[in-house]
Structure 1
Amino acid sequence: MSHASFNASAFDFEKTVLTQDMLNFITNNYKLSVWASAVYVVVIFGGRWIMDRKDKFGLNYALALWSGMLAIFSVIGTARMWPEMLHVLQHEGFYSSACIAGYMEHSVTQFWTGLFVLSKIIELGDTVFIVLRKQPLIFLHWYHHITVLLYSWYSLREEVASGRWFICLNFAVHAVMYSYYALRALKFRVPNQIRMIITAQQLIQMIIGCFLNFYVYSIKNEGRFCQISYENIRLSFLMYFSYFILFAKFFYDTYINPTPRPARLISEEKRRIAKAEQKAD
């Protein structure tokens, strides 16, 4: 088992008995993720309806603080989760990384796995900023937040082995993404290519996710041990494949065949004038 030979030193707060309490809380309260998703939908779409009648908020510094904290969390999560992943790949191979859930038996990766799953509720706050700042709320954004939340809480109950890949990749991509958001909120001039690279990273993440699902499915069909259920494989594949389609479309529409900027500006100007006329009436 990978946890027996992986000996990364753990900080005191990572070794506390509260880690097991945190994991037990998540596994015993899956309904919390469902309720959080339901409240999220009501808040964001109710908020959009309210904000249609109000001026947008700036919230640049608040957004920078929010994104900065999530960036720091993701950077630390990456630094704490990836050593175990690399150790398993180097010493035990790809099969173990996808089918043996040793990461759930080491204090460091247990702790950060629990925090990762809990953070999917916290990250719903991203959309609140979009609503209050009256930015476009695309289907990909809120669909992605809800499904990641529900799947993460669901999978922790199974201690899915391929969750090691899901968590490590997500932490790494979010470390870059939230850093970018924080810099943009602080009005730093970040090249547009960085945004394109982030979307490309997300696309690659979804391709890897689809490949992993094919791999673990084939392993189980061969009669070999793999710590994931067929039901989870089906749900995971549907999730990752839908993400791939949506992120590919977003990449194409944003970077390959974008809507001409003048048309967007004209549309925004028309909305602004119409709103001003409504207020005058």
Structure 2
Amino acid sequence: MLRCCIFYTVYFILYILGHLFLHYFTLVSADYVHQTPSFLYRKKSFLFSALYAACILGGRHVMKQREKFNLRKPLVLWSLTLAVFSIFGAVRTGSYMTYILMTKGLKQSVCDQSFYNGPVSKFWAYAFVLSKAPELGDTLFIVLRKQKLIFLHWYHHITVLLYSWYSYKDMVAGGGWFMTMNYLVHSVMYSYYALRAAGFKVSRKFAMFITLTQITQMLVGCVVNYLVYSWMQQGQECPSHVQNIVWSSLMYLSYFVLFCQFFHEAYIDKTKKAAAARAEAAAAATRKAQ
């Protein structure tokens, strides 16, 4: 009970502080988010990705000879902070996208660049892009705690960083959908991580639900890319370019395959193995009784 009270008290404090902080920067900083030259974003995205890969390799090598770190409290704070940030982002971008979708229709919600220019939404678009760098810190906890590091994890982090930082300055169509979906999924995912790290028992079905939402996100991303390409071919106003659509589609398709594979291995295969183990144990008990 005490642990629960402490968790939600910290959550509430972060929520209030985050609201005040982000409200201020939404008003003050929104006018400056497009002033950085695009080549700086693109050069830095490769720099961060290279440093990230080096830290993974170096960290795993060092940790081979060391005991794993607990890091439970830092992980709670880390996940909780990202959860609150993602919730704010989901609410702000989600409300904007819902308004555009309901008042102006699907095409406008996909193709209109006002998501990048609106007084509030452009701040959250900028915050989304910047957040891909600190989110690389997720892997630090995996390495230091000597947990299994799967290909999907680091591949997803690197490719999202590269694509986001490359595409942001071009204000490509579909970006509002991509960012809003990511905020929504991360708001649930990091909340789940925070609860698990804090010691709460969360149903396995909830983890399955998160993976299913990620799979759905990848499918929707592919559909959005198809719509953008289709409208471009018809000569309609939908600002993007074929190269971006191709890379984005390949990225989303690869995520779809990898998340489906992860879902099968983590939930379906494990369920079958657990059922087989229970059946074997029951059979062994029956043989002993006889």
Unpaired segments ≥5 residues, structure 1: 1-9, 263-281
Matched AA of 2:243: E
1:166 and 2:178 correspond: yes
Work out the CA distance in 2 between the residues paired with 1:209 and 1:83.
Answer: 19
- TM, length-normalised to structure 2: 0.84
1:234 and 2:251 correspond: no
Work out the CA distance in 1 between the residues paired with 2:174 and 2:88.
Answer: 21
Matched AA of 2:30: T
Unpaired segments ≥5 residues, structure 2: 1-21, 276-290
- C-alpha contact (below 8 Å) 1:26/1:153 kept by paired residues: no
1:112 and 2:138 correspond: no
Aligned to 1:69: 81
Give aligned-pair identity as a percent.
46
Per the alignment, in what secondary structure is the counterpart of residue 187 of structure 1? coil
Q: Matches of residues 66-105 of structure 1 in structure 2 within 5 Å?
A: 66-105=78-117
Work out the CA distance in 1 between the residues paired with 2:175 and 2:37.
Answer: 15
Work out the CA distance in 1 between the residues paired with 2:154 and 2:31.
Answer: 30
Q: 2:56 aligns with which of 44, 68, 72?
A: 44
How far apart are residue 45 of structure 1 and its match?
1.4
- C-alpha contact (below 8 Å) 2:173/2:228 kept by paired residues: no
1:154-205 Cα offsets, whole Å, 9 max, x none, are 1111111200000000000000000000111111001111110000000000
Matched AA of 1:23: H
How far apart are residue 12 of structure 1 and its match?
4.4
1:66-111 Cα offsets, whole Å, 9 max, x none, are 0000000000111111111001110111001111111112110011
How far apart are residue 31 of structure 1 and its match?
0.8
Aligned to 2:255: 243
Per the alignment, in what secondary structure is the counterpart of residue 228 of structure 1? coil
Work out the CA distance in 2 between the residues paired with 1:22 and 1:146.
Answer: 22
Equivalent residues, number: 253
Aligned to 1:212: 224
How far apart are residue 20 of structure 1 and its match?
3.7
Per the alignment, in what secondary structure is the counterpart of residue 23 of structure 1? coil
Q: Matches of residues 170-209 of structure 1 in structure 2 within 5 Å?
A: 170-209=182-221
How far apart are residue 124 of structure 1 and its match?
0.1
Work out the CA distance in 1 between the residues paired with 2:121 and 2:51.
Answer: 30
1:23 and 2:34 correspond: yes
Q: Name the Cα RMSD after superposition.
A: 1.8
- TM, length-normalised to structure 1: 0.86
How far apart are residue 229 of structure 1 and its match?
1.1
Aligned to 1:278: none
1:143 and 2:155 correspond: yes
Matched AA of 2:69: F
1:93-144 Cα offsets, whole Å, 9 max, x none, are 1001111111112110011111110000000000000000000000000000
- C-alpha contact (below 8 Å) 1:63/1:182 kept by paired residues: yes
Question: Against the structure 1 CA distance between its residues 26 and 37, is the aligned structure 2 distance closer, same or farther, given a 3 Å change threshold?
Answer: farther
